[in-house]
Amino acid sequence: MRSCSNNSLENKGLFLIEKKKNYWIVYDYNEFVSNYTAEKHRFLNNNYVSIEVTAFRSGMGTNIYSWYLIFDLKNKTYITLFKSEYNANDEGIIINKCESEIKFKNEKFMIKRTSFTKNKCEYCIESGIYKIINGKFVKV
């Protein structure tokens, strides 16, 4: 398992999951979102790898979003969690800012969501303790 990226090619990055004979099982970041950076590739344990993907969206002002992807290496699946959102207008006034801090320990994900704008954190994964059970992200 490895990650590769080459900005000079049409495809910006692939997450190489497994090689079978002469073929790779891959995850193509370009299919997920455009104008992104993929960072913080971490082995959580022998079953899971996490990757943080941040996208800079065009439009009025500044719009930045991030996701936390959890790859299940054994089952060749992944789970996508909405991690953060930042929106400011052209004058730099923050319209919406929220973030979920995600930590992994003892097969559990501890999440703490913080909203910096009142009642505006609709998409970020909410605070709690979670586990992956039968391929689903479940609050315990």
Tens of pLDDT, residue by residue over 59-115, are: 788 999 999 999 888 888 889 999 999 989 999 888 889 999 999 999 999 999 999
Digit-coded pLDDT (tens) for 5-62: 433 334 345 565 666 677 666 666 555 666 677 778 888 998 898 988 888 877 788 9
Which range marks the domain in which residue 72 is found? 33-139
Residue 132 in domain: yes
What tokens were used for 41? 């590739």
pLDDT at 117: 79
Residue 6 in domain: no
Residue 9 in domain: no
Residue 91 in domain: yes
Total domain count for the chain? 1
Residue 13 in domain: no
Residue 52 in domain: yes
Do residues 38 and 53 lie in contact, with contact meaning Cβ atoms separated by under 8 Å? yes
Core vs surface per residue 76-85: b (16+ CB within 10 A) or e: eebbebbbbb
